[in-house]
Amino acid sequence: MRRKNSHYTDSDIENLLGKIQAGAIKLTDLPCHFSYKRDPKDEHILSLVVESGVDYLVTRDNDLLELMNEYDDEGRRFRSQFPNVNILGPVEFLGVLLPIASEE
């Protein structure tokens, strides 16, 4: 995180990691919620996201990130089925999360 965001302090990073840990949950035996032809190996990740009810999936996986592309048919299908799920890269997610942390 520091390589790409050198302005974040140790306190910022500790706060972020604490928030992630506090909200973490463990799920097993997931049903398949979305069939992903582009990369079937990612279906379990999408099912975990849907089953857990989270708002964000943070990843560097281009196949998963492509689901947010408005020009991608599978992406449009995914977003219409799960409109509250946002798939972001780590840097984008920090931009969303750190302003929230600084408000508290």
- Can you give the pLDDT of all 104 residues of the chain as single tens digits? 777 788 888 898 899 889 888 887 767 788 888 999 999 999 999 998 998 888 999 999 999 999 999 898 999 999 999 999 999 999 899 888 877 655 65
pTM listed for this prediction: 0.68
Task: For the chain, give every domain's residue range.
Answer: 31-103
Angle, CA of 38, 40 and 41, to the nearest 5°: 120
Asked whether 2 and 8 are in contact (CB, 8 A), the reply is yes
